[in-house]
Structure 1
């Protein structure tokens, strides 16, 4: 039985959200803190591999011209920069940030001082982020099923280390482990909502598909380069650098292998 694009969107959005939260909760509760940088390095490779080897080529192919696709990617990177600035500004406005150490949503900043407000902020931000992920997954599946699968896998890969950071923030904000798990699961449902709404919209406006594919590539590049890679620079020793390079390469390799596997699985 062949699944429709909508069925794929629902399955990958729902299962992906549950999987990333489940794995993140296990890691946050039981794993060593040193495991998180390993996950982040792998996620960087998965995001960059999916962006440059899968999503971006499709965005260029579907666009009116390569220049138009490139402009959409640049606009997307600027958009995500502004959105992140607004989130950081809102946090600093509420928390009274001092110096240059605003909270980062991957669990590297200090957040022991708050009284639940960082937890609320991260839930709001994560819900919006998950909604956008759903939109990007839908755009990829509308273009082609293999591209949708690869895009969803790359998004899941970067969601796991992010969710680990979110759990840590929620626990430091005074949430119990059960409440942190429940709120993260509810937040993950925004991916499903975003996917379904985007599918309905894109089904009636095919001309928007290249734009959303470019935004998907921009999102992956921005998250990898602006949010994740700077954290790796905190460890400059040769052994750590070699490990990071190998894990990033492993992330890229998994994307290279995922596309033919997805195509063969689909027959």
Structure 2
């Protein structure tokens, strides 16, 4: 009996030692394979971090129940994928319906003001929301967030931003080259009228007295004198044919491509955090209103009827849905899904392909 008890004791000691060895070996082999979420979860178990969480919870109640937070919760109540599709509906529907209220002859000066407003909205969202989210991350309302510095990760994020910027420059240049260069690519072309002014009147009077050589000379001198004050007038028939119409179709293609980047931006923003997604949607909405009005005016100047121009704008809105679906697919199958199996990151970092979508779209802005 004593021998049996001694054997059980030895076996128990061996099992305890073996469990300790396995636990130590497991800790050594898996600490480097932990994902960012797992590291964050273990950091939250630290007593100091828990004290900070309690202090944050006691002081952040009023901020969490503000009007903006409640409005975003009502407008975007679902998962990142559902919220992305809702944001496409918000930015595509109202701006296009507002075009029915726009007159066909829009003042170019007001277009310049709206374009400046649209540019400021996107730049504000990029500088104050997207870039901080890309490099630092979004603050969580439930607990404090600690950031682990990683130089290689920051380099990859910066490269993704630069690739997005270069991609947009190449696309913009290609559109300009296809439309015949930089001239006439803005909203200022197509304002010609079929009237005769200045030197053309002098030329007409000179041709009427063509039998008198002296009158022809006087007309020639008159034409040369008035050349500096004459305007180059393009007949309406020439304006409506050829290059102007082609410019309108090229603008539709460019607008469709631009809306794809909008959809990608909103998908990547909502998968980063609900707050960043809601703010990006707000910025894109206030960008889309003047942008759609400007494109509508350009299509009218290119010979489109008002009904055809509005229909073309609804067609280009499908680009935002296309970009949103592409962004959702990249996020779901690129390692950012909640149910995704943890896999090694890119180039020894914690980044996956889905994490590079937000910096790429920030570069395209």
TM-score greater than 0.5 by the shorter chain:
yes
Paired position in structure 2 for 1:119? 248
1:159: which partner in 2?
A: 288
TM-score, normalised via structure 1 length? 0.71
CA displacement at 1:65 relative to structure 2? 2.5
Assess if the C-alpha contact under 8 Å between 1:14 and 1:189 holds in 2. Answer: no
Distance 1:28 1:212 in 2: 38
Q: Which residue of 2 aligns with 1:87?
A: 175
Q: Distance in 2 between matches of 1:88 and 1:131?
A: 19
Measured in 2, the distance between the counterparts of 1:77 and 1:114 equals 35
Q: Deviations over 1:125-159 (max 9, x none)?
A: 11111122111111111111111111122222222
Q: What displacement does 1:42 show?
A: 2.3
Q: Which runs of 5+ in 2 are unaligned?
A: 1-73, 138-149, 193-238, 337-351
Task: Please list every run of at least 4 consecutive aligned residues from structure 1 whose deviation after the TM superposition is greater than 6 angstroms.
Answer: none
Report if the CA contact (8 A) 2:259-2:316 is conserved: yes
Alignment match of 2:117 (pick from 42, 45, 59): 42
Q: 1:109 to 1:51 in 2, by over 3 A?
A: farther
Q: Cα offset for 1:28?
A: 5.0
Tell me the CA shift for residue 215 of structure 1.
Answer: 1.6
C-alpha contact 2:165 2:364 (8 A) present in aligned 1: yes
Q: Deviations over 1:114-134 (max 9, x none)?
A: 532111111111111112211
CA radius of gyration, larger in: 2
1:103 to 185, 201, 204: 185
**TM-score with structure 2 length normalisation?**
0.53
Higher relative contact order at CA 8 Å, sep ≥6: structure 1 or structure 2?
1
Is residue 2:364 matched to residue 1:219? Answer: yes
Mapped pair 1:58 → 2:187: no
Residue 19 of structure 1: aligned partner? 94
Provide structure 1 residue ranges, at least 5 long, that are not aligned to the other structure: 221-267
Higher helix share: 1
